[in-house]
C-alpha cells in the first residue's frame, strides 16, 4: 500500500453516518449495513457531535460473547487534518482497518481517509460476521429447546480457536493447502487430499475406491424439508445407510427401550465416515460392552448447522430420553435449564491426538474414526462419572414441542424484506390487517374484498403473490392491483416475497388442478403468524369465501385453525356478485373471456383500471 492508494471521502458522500435518534436496533442496523456495503465502520452522531463508532469487529465480538447490549465505542483514533502520511502510519499498525476518521476540532466528522481493502479479505469478514450472528441465534434456539423439552439434556461444545492455536504452522499450512486444492486443481474432486493423505485418514478402513464411493454416496444423502424441518431420504449404500430420516447406527441392541439422541452438525452425522465409524456407533459400542442393554443411540445429526437443530423441536421426547447436543458455542445456562445434566467441552479431546491433521480433511469437525472414537469414549466417561444412565424412569409419555420449524434463514430474510419495503409495526391503537392475493387478474371481487376489509382496519397490507406461475405475470398482476386500489387510503401493496404463499411454503397452491390429497399448508401459515403478523402487528387476515376451489377452501379453514394462536383473527368475506342474476365474480371466468375475446364479460367482472390495462396488452392480439 502506498500513499497514492489512499483517498479522502467527505462526510456528505458517506453512507455510514447515522444519527443516534434514528437507530432503533443498533445490532440489526449495523449488521445489514455491513453485509450490504463495503463499509466496515459506522459513525454515530448525537446533537451534531460525534458520539462514537461501531466497527464490523465490534459487532462480531458482540455476537460471539453474547453481550446484552452493543455499545458505541467512544475511544477511537482520528486525525485532525487530511493527513495521508499519518493515515499510512495508522494503517501499518492496524492491518485489519482500512479507514480512519478526520475530525474538525475533535467533535464533528469531516470525512474519512481510506483505501480499498482486498475483496477476498472483505468477503471473509462478511462470512465471519454472518457466522457469528447465526451462531448466536442457534444458541438462543438451543436454550429455547432446553427450557421446553421434557428430556434430560447434555450439552457439548468445542473451541475452534483453541484447536487451531494448538496446531503447528506446518499443520495449519496443510489444512490451508487442502482447502485451496479443493477449490481448484487436480485434487478438487477429492476434497483437496492426495491418495496418501486419504490412506492416513482412513487407516485400516482404507481400500481401493473408498474415497470415490464415500464422496459419491455422501452427495446422494439428500435432505428432505417438510414444514421447515430437515431430515434425510432413506438410503442403502455401501458406507451410508439412512432410515426414517436419520443415519443408521448398526450396533443397536434389539429390544432396547431407552434412547440417547444426538443432535448437531457434520461431526455428529459422520461425514466421510462409514456407519461403523460415527460417534453414535462408538458410543453404542461403549454401552454394549458395559451391559447397558436398555439404551440405543440415535444419530440425528445433519451436515449443516443451519439445519441440524430444527429437528429437535418436532421430536417426541419424554423424561426417559437423553438428548446430546453438540453446540456451536460454549453454552451458559441459568437455573431455568433444570433438565440440563451437565455441559462439557470436547476441545481437549482434539488436543490429545498427535498428528491431528492426519485425521482431518480440511477442518477439525471434518474428522475420521480416530477422533470420533475419542469423543465417544469421552462422552461415555462423563456419563459414568455423573451417573447419567442411572436416573429413575418417569412416565415415558413422549411430547413434541412443535411440528414445524422456522429457521434462521427465514427470519433473516424477513428482516431484510421488511426493511426493503419500509414495513414496521403500527402505532398503538391502530388496527392492521392483510389480504394475500394472487389477482389473476384483479377483479371487482378483489376490490370488494379490500373495501370490506378497510371497513375494519386502519392499515391494510396487500401482499401480491410473487411466484410467476399464473396466467398473468407477477409484474402484470402487481400493476393491476396498484392501479385498482390507487384511490384507497390506508392500503399498502407489496410483493409477497419468498415465504408468503410461495412454492417454498405451499407448493400445492400452484398445482390445484393436479392435487389429490391436500396437505403442506401449515408451514406457510405458521410463518405468516409467527414472523410477518408479529413484526407488523397484524390482527386480521381477510379471505374471500371460496365455494369452488377446494385447495383454497381448505387453506382458508386451516388459517382459521392456526392463526388465532398468534392473535390473528381470520375474517371470511362472502363473494361479490354482479347483475340482476347475481353472477359470482370469478378470475377464472375473466381469463376464459379474455381467451374468447369476450370483452363484455371482462368489463362486467373487472374494474375500469384492469380493463384498461388488459386492453392495452390484449385487445389487438
Q: pLDDT confidence of 52, banded at 50, 70, 90?
A: very high
What was the pLDDT predicted at 65?
A: 86
Is 59 buried (19+), middle (13-18) or exposed (0-12) by CB count in 10 A?
Answer: buried
Q: How many CB atoms are closer than 10 A to CB 428?
A: 6
The angle formed by the CA atoms of residues 394, 397 and 403, to the nearest 5 degrees, is 135
Domains belonging to the chain, first-starting first, are 3-125 (3.10.580.10), 149-390 (no CATH), 408-618 (3.40.50.620)
pLDDT of 358 above 80: yes
* Cα separation, 559 vs 573, whole angstroms: 14
* Chain centre to alpha carbon of residue 600: 49
Q: Is the pLDDT of residue 336 over 70?
A: no
Residue 619 has pLDDT above 60, yes or no: yes
pTM: 0.89
Which triple of cell numbers denotes residue 140?
Answer: 438462543
Alpha carbon distance 205, 468 (integer Å): 51
Identify the three-state secondary structure at position 118: coil
pLDDT above 70 (res 334): no
With cut-offs at 50, 70 and 90, classify the pLDDT of residue 581.
low
According to DSSP, the β-strands at 241-243 and 258-263 are unpaired
Output the average pLDDT for the chain. Answer: 91
Flag whether pLDDT at 367 surpasses 90.
yes
pLDDT exceeding 90 applies to what percent of the chain?
70
pLDDT for the residue numbered 621: 60
What mean pLDDT is predicted for residues 220-246? Answer: 92
C-beta pairs of 590-593 under 8 Å, 24+ apart in sequence = 590/441, 590/443, 591/440, 591/441, 591/471
Average pLDDT rounded to a whole number, residues 599-613: 93
Per-residue pLDDT band for 56 (boundaries 50, 70, 90) equals very high
The region, left, alpha or beta by phi > 0 then psi within -120 to 50, assigned to residue 595 is alpha
Q: Mind listing the pLDDT tens digit for each residue in 585-597? A: 888 899 999 988 8
Q: Summarize the confidence of residues 19-25 as an average pLDDT.
A: 89
Confidence of residue 48 (pLDDT cuts 50, 70, 90): confident
Instruction: Count Cβ atoms below 10 Å from residue 29 Cβ, excluding itself.
Output: 17
Backbone angle region of 66, left / alpha / beta, with phi > 0 → left and psi within -120 to 50 → alpha: left
Segment 263-285 shows an average pLDDT of 95
- Residue 605: count other Cβ atoms within 10 Å of its Cβ: 24
| Alpha helices, DSSP H, located in 66-118 | 84-93
All three cell numbers of 541:
387476515
Burial class (CB in 10 A: 0-12, 13-18, 19+), 217: middle
What pLDDT score was predicted for residue 579? Answer: 65
pLDDT tens, position by position, 26-43: 999 999 999 989 899 999
Amino acid at each position: 500500500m502506498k500513499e497514492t492508494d489512499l483517498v479522502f471521502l467527505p462526510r456528505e458522500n458517506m453512507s455510514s453516518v447515522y444519527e443516534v435518534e434514528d437507530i432503533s436496533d443498533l445490532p440489526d442496523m449495523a449488521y445489514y449495513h455491513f453485509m450490504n456495503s463495503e463499509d466496515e465502520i459506522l459513525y454515530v452522531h448525537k446533537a451534531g457531535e460525534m458520539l462514537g463508532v461501531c466497527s464490523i469487529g465490534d459487532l462480531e465480538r458482540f455476537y460471539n460473547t453474547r453481550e446484552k447490549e452493543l455499545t458505541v465505542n467512544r475511544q477511537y483514533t482520528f486525525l485532525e487534518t487530511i493527513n495521508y502520511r499519518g493515515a499510512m502510519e495508522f494503517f501499518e499498525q492496524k492491518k485489519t482497518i482500512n479507514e480512519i476518521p478526520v475530525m474538525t476540532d475533535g467533535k464533528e466528522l469531516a470525512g474519512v481517509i481510506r483505501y480499498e481493502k482486498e475483496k477476498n479479505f472483505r468477503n471473509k469478514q462478511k462470512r465471519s460476521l454472518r457466522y457469528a450472528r447465526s451462531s448466536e441465534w442457534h444458541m438462543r434456539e438451543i436454550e429455547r429447546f432446553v427450557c421446553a423439552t421434557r428430556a434430560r439434556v447434555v450439552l457439548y461444545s468445542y473451541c475452534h480457536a483453541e484447536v487451531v492455536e494448538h496446531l503447528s504452522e506446518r499443520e495449519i499450512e496443510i489444512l490451508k493447502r487442502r482447502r485451496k486444492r479443493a477449490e481448484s486443481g487436480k485434487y478438487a474432486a477429492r476434497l483437496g487430499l492426495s491418495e496418501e493423505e486419504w490412506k492416513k485418514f482412513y487407516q485400516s478402513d482404507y481400500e481401493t475406491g473408498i474415497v470415490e464411493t464415500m464422496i459419491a454416496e455422501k452427495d446422494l444423502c439428500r435432505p428432505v424439508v417438510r414444514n421447515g424441518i430437515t431430515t434425510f431420504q432413506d438410503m442403502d449404500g455401501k458406507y451410508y445407510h439412512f432410515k426414517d430420516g436419520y443415519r443408521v447406527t448398526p450396533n443397536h441392541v434389539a429390544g432396547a427401550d431407552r434412547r440417547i439422541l444426538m443432535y448437531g452438525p457434520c461431526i455428529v452425522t459422520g461425514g466421510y465416515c462409514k456407519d461403523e465409524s460415527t460417534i453414535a456407533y462408538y458410543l453404542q459400542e461403549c454401552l454394549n460392552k458395559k451391559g447397558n442393554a436398555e439404551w440405543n443411540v440415535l444419530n440425528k445429526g445433519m451436515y449443516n448447522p443451519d439445519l441440524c437443530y430444527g429437528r429437535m423441536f418436532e421430536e417426541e421426547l419424554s423424561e426417559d430420553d437423553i438428548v446430546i447436543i453438540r453446540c456451536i458455542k460454549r453454552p451458559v445456562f441459568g437455573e431455568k435449564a433444570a433438565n440440563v445434566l451437565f455441559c462439557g467441552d470436547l476441545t481437549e479431546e482434539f488436543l490429545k491426538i498427535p498428528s491431528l491433521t492426519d485425521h482431518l480433511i480440511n477442518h477439525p469437525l471434518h474428522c475420521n474414526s480416530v477422533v470420533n472414537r475419542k469423543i465417544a469414549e469421552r462422552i461415555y466417561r462423563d456419563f459414568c462419572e455423573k451417573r447419567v444412565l442411572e436416573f429413575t424412569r418417569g412416565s415415558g409419555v413422549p411430547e413434541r414441542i412443535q411440528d414445524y420449524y422456522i429457521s434462521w434463514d427465514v427470519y433473516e430474510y424477513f428482516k431484510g424484506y421488511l426493511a426493503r419495503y419500509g414495513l414496521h409495526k403500527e402505532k398503538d391503537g391502530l388496527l392492521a390487517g392483510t389480504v394475500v392475493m394472487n389477482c389473476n387478474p384483479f377483479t371487482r371481487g378483489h376490490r370488494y374484498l379490500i373495501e370490506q376489509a378497510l371497513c375494519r382496519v386502519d392499515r391494510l397490507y396487500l401482499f401480491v403473490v410473487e411466484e410467476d406461475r399464473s396466467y398473468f405475470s407477477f409484474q402484470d398482476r402487481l400493476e393491476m392491483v396498484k392501479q385498482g386500489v390507487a384511490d384507497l387510503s390506508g392500503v399498502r401493496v407489496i410483493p409477497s416475497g419468498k415465504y408468503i404463499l410461495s412454492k417454498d411454503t405451499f407448493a400445492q397452491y400452484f398445482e390445484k388442478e393436479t392435487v389429490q390429497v391436500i396437505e403442506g399448508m401449515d408451514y406457510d401459515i405458521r410463518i405468516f403468524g409467527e414472523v410477518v403478523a408479529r413484526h407488523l402487528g397484524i390482527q386480521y387476515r381477510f379471505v374471500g369465501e371460496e365455494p369452488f376451489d377446494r385447495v383454497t377452501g381448505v387453506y382458508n379453514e386451516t388459517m382459521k385453525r392456526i392463526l388465532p394462536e398468534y392473535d390473528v383473527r381470520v375474517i371470511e368475506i362472502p363473494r361479490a356478485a354482479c347483475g340482476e342474476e347475481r353472477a359470482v365474480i370469478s378470475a377464472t371466468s375473466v381469463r376464459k373471456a379474455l381467451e374468447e375475446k369476450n370483452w363484455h364479460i371482462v368489463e362486467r367482472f373487472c374494474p375500469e383500471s384492469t380493463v384498461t390495462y388488459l386492453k392495452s396488452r390484449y385487445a389487438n392480439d
